[in-house]
Amino acid sequence: MEEICRIIEHALELEKGSVGINDNMDTIEKLDSLGLLAVLSALEKRYGNKVASIDELTEAKSVKEIFDLLKRESLI
């Protein structure tokens, strides 16, 4: 979980420790549609091309949702 938060922080150029598992599009200003694309790109770099095959990630609205989708696909 911690690693996902750090990836999101890095992708969105946020301060370390500023993203938690309970954060979402309402609490992370930069996690809008463009920000989500940056996050998906960073996740793909870390976990490989399998990330692109998880269609639901493009609709994810929270850090927990991203985490759960990656876990479901056994990427984490």
d(CA 13, CA 59): 21
Q: What is the per-residue pLDDT across 15-50, written as a single tens digit (0 to 9) for each? A: 999 999 999 999 998 988 899 999 999 999 999 888
- pTM for the full predicted model: 0.89
Residue 51 is predicted with a pLDDT of 92
List the domain range (segments joined by +) for residue 25: 2-72
| Average pLDDT of the residues of the chain | 93
* Dist CA 7 CA 12 (whole Å): 9
The CATH number assigned to the domain holding 41 equals: 1.10.1200.10
pLDDT at 76 exceeding the cut of 90:
no
pLDDT of residue 31: 87
Total tally of structural domains belonging to the chain: 1
Residue 49 pLDDT: 85
